[in-house]
Amino acid sequence: MSASYGNPFELGERAVRPTRLFLTGGTGFLGSHFLLWRLMGGGHVYALVRGKSTEQARARLLESLALSAASYDVPVPVDAFEERVTCLKGDITLPHCGLSPDELTLLAEARLDEVWHSAASLSYEDRHRRKIHAHNCVGTRNVLAVASRAGARRFIYVSTAYTAGTRRGVIPEAAHPEAPGDGAFNNYYEESKAEAERDVARLCAEEGRDYSILRPSVIVGPSATRRSGGTRFGLYGFVRELYRLRDGLAQVTDPLRVLGDEGAGINLVPVDHVVQDMLRLSATGFEGGPFHHLVGPVELPAAGLVDKLATILELPILRFTTRRETEATPIEELFDLRGAFYASYGLNPKRFARALPPHPPLTFADLDVYLASFLAELARERSGDTFTPVQVRAADGAEVCAFTRGDPSHPVLVLCNAYAMPEEFLAPLAQRLAQRWRVVTWNTRWLPTPTPDFDPARCDSGVHVEDLIAVLDRLGIQRVEAVVGWSSGAQVALRALAEHPARFARGVILNGTVSLPPAPDHPLTAFEKNLRRLFPQIAANPRVAERYCKLIFGGDTASGAPQSEDRKVVASVLTSTDPHLLYMTSVPFRSPTSLFRYAHMVCALFRERDDAWTSSVKQPVLVHGGGADLISHPDQVASLARRLADARTVLHPSADHFSHFYDEGIATMIEEFVQQAPSRARPVEPTSEEGFSRTLDRLIQLSNADPSNPFRDLVWEKSLPEDQHWMSPELLSVHGTPWAEKLTPRQLLALSKWECINFFSLNVTGIRELLTEMISRMHTPGYEQSSEYLHHLVLEENEHMWYFSRFCLTYGGKIYKDRRIRYDAFPEPDIKEFLAFATVLVFEEIVDIYNSQMGKDARLPPFVREINRLHHSDETRHITYGRLNIERLHQGLRARHGVERLRDVERALKRFMLTSMQKFYNPEIYKDVGLPEPLKLRNELLAHPERIAFNERILSKTTRFMVKKEIFTDDRLA
């Protein structure tokens, strides 16, 4: 069984051993997720559930199953539940779990393969000692008695890795010491679970029954979505405690010192990884002995975690410390009591051995997404800002996940999401609209809801319109005031307007991606061109989708892997999206199955009617677009409007594809359109200065909202592993040349280290020049608008230069020198100013491509990835400013200089671009690796066709921008 897939429906396509099992704890976090996945693999489950009646117990189990299903964006498998689950009302604290003789006979006749015992009390305080003992110790013995009466073949006990208590060092997958001494545990919860482990081992051995003891570490939500998945324990419990205390702690001025051991780490593991391990063990007969650690491959430093929480919760007083130099303050004593259980994770440094194949490790970058998602979840709970899920059965019997928001008595707005995107993408817009409207949306079938009934022949917008009608019928809605379609959802909205004119009064198109064919009046973005080229290949064969997934996430690059040009296309597709929303936009790319389905859905969209249903739409339609949209071409606003009978257009020059997520004005625009009698109107087009000003305001907001502080957040390792690449192999200067084969593996690793040091050195020297240029222009004529944002930019670039230089000096012992390029041939001040900013932009765009790839490359050490990820996060803002600024500056040059002088400027900038790439072939690198004749090697590499093509690919995105803005007359660099 692969550990790479991330949703339960994919189990239907894999051989998972069907079993007859008895399950406790099915309403708990891990138990409900296990049940969800288990149902997809066949077999039968006898679930023990507390309740006043069997009906109530069954309802509780189904409710828990629905919560876990929602965390993967999949519908509740009602049919599988009805067919494969027998619910038994009972209680593990009672003898034989409160089951009747007839029910015990039923279990015996079922010939159970396995008993899975995951029910437990998660309390830990001594005042709950009797309750904990009743559930975790007595309860386990009662479940063992049921297993004995039923004659079950194997007993599986879900324990915890923290039964290791206060032990330190490497914890083996073995029984703990039989007679632990006083102080062996941090709390009674750990002690009770350890006692239950001993009871399971002893009683199963006495009866000759096979047994397995599974020890998960601190479980977080699914890796597929980074949501909490329904739990409020473990890390989430600690975060929620801090969240609740945040207002009270705001008035505290002294540091709130959290105690922990130096070097202590917390092992976090996603719940879907744990369940995959559980199913793998079942399918393989629990090979490897009775004890199994279901843990992540690394521990996150406790100190770094506390710093991360302090940042994201805006609690600067929160500090990690190994000892308090002064007596604890009253608030610290209170905090110690409230957080005692969670604080124990930061004590007693330990690492858990694991024999099972490892899953991808969780990094602090992953944790950022988990925490941001959970805080948003808590905020929605506090404000009541949540969608209400509704399960709908479509006309063909498929299950559809629908969502509503707002007062049911209000008039209705329908939001058509982009294909494959989760409902979270529409949550901010729905929240703003729900004050006055009842908002309805749904997840497109197949993706993000990975339903098992995928039919490539039915991937057109028609099936999604049918699902929308089924949703409205289920909710009893006959009239919709406006159907709003975002991105590819625009095609669904247009088709709904065309086919159901009596039901939908108006339409709104937000940044639409539709089936209009490429034409002079409908140009395509690079993103759309790449989709049209790439997705037919992927849709043709699932194995092609698998190879492209390996290309995206790393893996085998053997024969059959996509060619270098395809790598460029894939990179362009992924980097066109908003990096802050990557945890949602990456949904279609997370597995071969999802990518295969998404390719079919997109290809079907492009094959539909070449008027995108516009000729059949008679209702008023508002068409909105953004001038900075890299997904849907801004000119689509006019293209669609010309084809519609009654259209109003709005084009915001500085808006991008995701403006509805951030901009409150989008909701206002929709409301005003719906409430008025729309007619054809002139486009709302702010002046370029207005657009520039709005963009600066948005960039300042994003900078202010960025919680990262590298001076505080980065946890510096004493050393980095030299048996790993520090730079992605595909980015090395020898890649694609005979030298890649000549060098030994050890030499390639050394080369990756020193090329990483060189890359970071280029950042140091480049940022130094950048800061000089920026600071010299702050608060000078012509930079009145920009100066406030430049303060943010300078602050962030100073942070970048600090961590890049410290990295080079700490792990390389030096910073490679670089020679500054001067432009003395241009005495004109305005040309020098343009070239200063243009070269900064070129430098940032080159670097960002490297950062983007290396920040996601699991082959690199986590700290190297983190440095690249941090820089990429800020550079997206800096590049946005740089592009707008040089476009404005070049407009000034065109007004003052002739064609030939502008060609001189173009040639100088192109030379700078090529020279910048040559700096990655530093002979000092090859000298440090110990390679002979380093200067000769540099010249050989620079002349190699593959390296020439690579350099051009890196520069191509910048070149296209320069051509589009008429800064370059052509795309030839040489």
Backbone angles phi, psi at 572, to 5 degrees: -65, -40
- Tell me whether residue 72 is exposed, middle or buried, using C-beta atoms within 10 angstroms of its C-beta: 0 to 12, 13 to 18, 19 or more: buried
Query: Once rounded to an integer, what is the mean pLDDT over residues 222-233?
Result: 84
**Nearest-angstrom CA–CA distance, 888 and 882:** 10
Query: Once rounded to an integer, what is the mean pLDDT over residues 195-224?
Result: 94
Please provide the DSSP assignment of 519-562 as one string. Answer: BTTB---HHHHHHHHHHHHHHH-HHHHHHHHHHHH----STTSP
Q: How far is CA 257 from CA 260, 322, 471, in A?
A: 9, 9, 52
Residue-wise burial string across 934-962, b where 16 or more C-beta atoms lie within 10 A, e elsewhere: beebbebbbebeebbebbbbbbbbbbebb
| 782: number of Cβ within 10 Å | 12
- Tell me whether residue 671 is exposed, middle or buried, using C-beta atoms within 10 angstroms of its C-beta: 0 to 12, 13 to 18, 19 or more: middle
Q: DSSP H helical segments within 812-922, as ranges?
A: 829-855, 862-896, 899-918
Backbone angles phi, psi at 734, to 5 degrees: -95, -5
Query: Once rounded to an integer, what is the mean pLDDT over residues 406-412?
Result: 88
State how far Cα 177 lies from the chain centre: 41
Q: So what's the pLDDT on residue 821?
A: 64
* CA angle, residues 300, 306, 307, in degrees to nearest 5: 100
Give the pLDDT band of residue 971 (cuts 50, 70, 90). confident
- Tell me whether residue 348 is exposed, middle or buried, using C-beta atoms within 10 angstroms of its C-beta: 0 to 12, 13 to 18, 19 or more: middle
**Nearest-angstrom CA–CA distance, 967 and 962:** 5
Give the pLDDT band of residue 576 (cuts 50, 70, 90). low
Query: Once rounded to an integer, what is the mean pLDDT over residues 927-953?
Result: 91
For the cut 80, the answer to whether the pLDDT of residue 157 exceeds it is: yes
Give the pLDDT band of residue 224 (cuts 50, 70, 90). confident
pLDDT tens-digit series, residues 258-317: 887 888 888 999 999 999 999 999 988 999 889 999 999 999 988 888 888 888 888 888
Nearest to 1 by CA among 35, 29, 31, 40: 40
| 411: number of Cβ within 10 Å | 17
Residue 48 vs residue 573, higher pLDDT: 48
pLDDT tens-digit series, residues 822-877: 666 788 888 988 998 898 899 899 999 999 889 888 899 999 999 998 888 888 88
Q: 689-693: long-range contacts (C-beta < 8 A, 24 or more apart)?
A: 689/785, 691/627, 691/652, 691/653, 691/654, 692/654, 692/785, 692/884, 692/888, 693/785
For the cut 70, the answer to whether the pLDDT of residue 116 exceeds it is: yes
pLDDT tens-digit series, residues 652-705: 887 889 888 878 889 989 998 998 744 333 333 333 566 677 778 878 877 787
Of the chain, the percentage scoring pLDDT greater than 90 comes to 41
Query: Once rounded to an integer, what is the mean pLDDT over residues 117-125?
Result: 85
**737, 788 contact by CB (below 8 A):** no
**Nearest-angstrom CA–CA distance, 167 and 186:** 10
Give the pLDDT band of residue 46 (cuts 50, 70, 90). very high
- Comparing 166-180, 553-567, 748-762, the range with the smallest average pLDDT is 553-567
Residue positions counted in the chain? 974
- Comparing 371-380, 425-434, 634-643, the range with the smallest average pLDDT is 371-380
Query: Once rounded to an integer, what is the mean pLDDT over residues 243-271?
Result: 79
Q: So what's the pLDDT on residue 218?
A: 92
Q: Could you tell me the two tokens for 14? A: 């894999």
**Nearest-angstrom CA–CA distance, 523 and 535:** 19
Q: Could you tell me the two tokens for 677? A: 């009698």
Q: So what's the pLDDT on residue 325?
A: 83
**Nearest-angstrom CA–CA distance, 870 and 365:** 9
- List strand residue ranges (DSSP E) for 106-249, in order: 114-117, 154-158, 169-171, 210-216, 218-220
Q: So what's the pLDDT on residue 78?
A: 85
Give the pLDDT band of residue 585 (cuts 50, 70, 90). low
Q: Could you tell me the two tokens for 97? A: 């779990």
Most confident of 303-307, 321-325, 935-939: 935-939
pLDDT tens-digit series, residues 799-817: 999 999 999 999 999 999 8
Q: So what's the pLDDT on residue 663?
A: 82
Residue 548 vs residue 97, higher pLDDT: 97
Of the chain, the percentage scoring pLDDT greater than 70 comes to 89
**Nearest-angstrom CA–CA distance, 697 and 691:** 10
Give the pLDDT band of residue 4 (cuts 50, 70, 90). very low
For the cut 50, the answer to whether the pLDDT of residue 1 exceeds it is: no
**Nearest-angstrom CA–CA distance, 423 and 427:** 7
Q: Could you tell me the two tokens for 335? A: 């905090």
Query: Once rounded to an integer, what is the mean pLDDT over residues 586-592?
Result: 74
* CA angle, residues 626, 910, 838, in degrees to nearest 5: 50
Q: So what's the pLDDT on residue 925?
A: 94
Q: So what's the pLDDT on residue 683?
A: 32
Q: So what's the pLDDT on residue 430?
A: 92
For the cut 90, the answer to whether the pLDDT of residue 593 exceeds it is: no
Q: Could you tell me the two tokens for 440? A: 């309805």
User: Which bin fits 830, alpha (ψ -120 to 50), beta or left (φ > 0)?
Assistant: alpha
**Nearest-angstrom CA–CA distance, 386 and 404:** 9
- Sign of the four-CA dihedral 508, 514, 517, 518: positive
Residue 240 vs residue 477, higher pLDDT: 477
Q: So what's the pLDDT on residue 689?
A: 61
Check residue 56 and report its DSSP letter: H
Give the pLDDT band of residue 92 (cuts 50, 70, 90). very high
This prediction has a pTM of 0.53
Secondary structure element (H or E) that encloses residue 230, with its range = none
- List strand residue ranges (DSSP E) for 444-538, in order: 482-486, 507-510
Q: How far is CA 33 from CA 7, 228, 715, in A?
A: 11, 12, 33
Bridge partners of 115? 22, 155
Query: Once rounded to an integer, what is the mean pLDDT over residues 749-767?
Result: 93
Pairing of strands 621-626, 20-24: unpaired
**Nearest-angstrom CA–CA distance, 834 and 861:** 38
Query: Once rounded to an integer, what is the mean pLDDT over residues 113-141?
Result: 89
Those residues with Cβ within 8 angstroms of residue 194's Cβ, 6 or more apart along the chain or in another chain: 159, 163, 165, 176, 180, 185
Peptide bond before residue 448 is cis, with ω within 30 degrees of 0: yes
Nearest to 259 by CA among 316, 328, 310: 328
Query: Once rounded to an integer, what is the mean pLDDT over residues 321-329?
Result: 81
Query: Once rounded to an integer, what is the mean pLDDT over residues 46-50?
Result: 96
Backbone angles phi, psi at 507, to 5 degrees: -135, 150
Amino acid identity, position 919 = K
Query: Once rounded to an integer, what is the mean pLDDT over residues 629-658?
Result: 88
Q: So what's the pLDDT on residue 682?
A: 31
Q: Could you tell me the two tokens for 320? A: 């990690």
- Sign of the four-CA dihedral 824, 825, 828, 832: negative
Q: Could you tell me the two tokens for 420? A: 């494959």
* CA angle, residues 696, 702, 705, in degrees to nearest 5: 140
Give the pLDDT band of residue 248 (cuts 50, 70, 90). low
- Comparing 311-315, 587-591, 749-753, 960-964, the range with the smallest average pLDDT is 587-591
Give the pLDDT band of residue 577 (cuts 50, 70, 90). low
For the cut 80, the answer to whether the pLDDT of residue 632 exceeds it is: yes
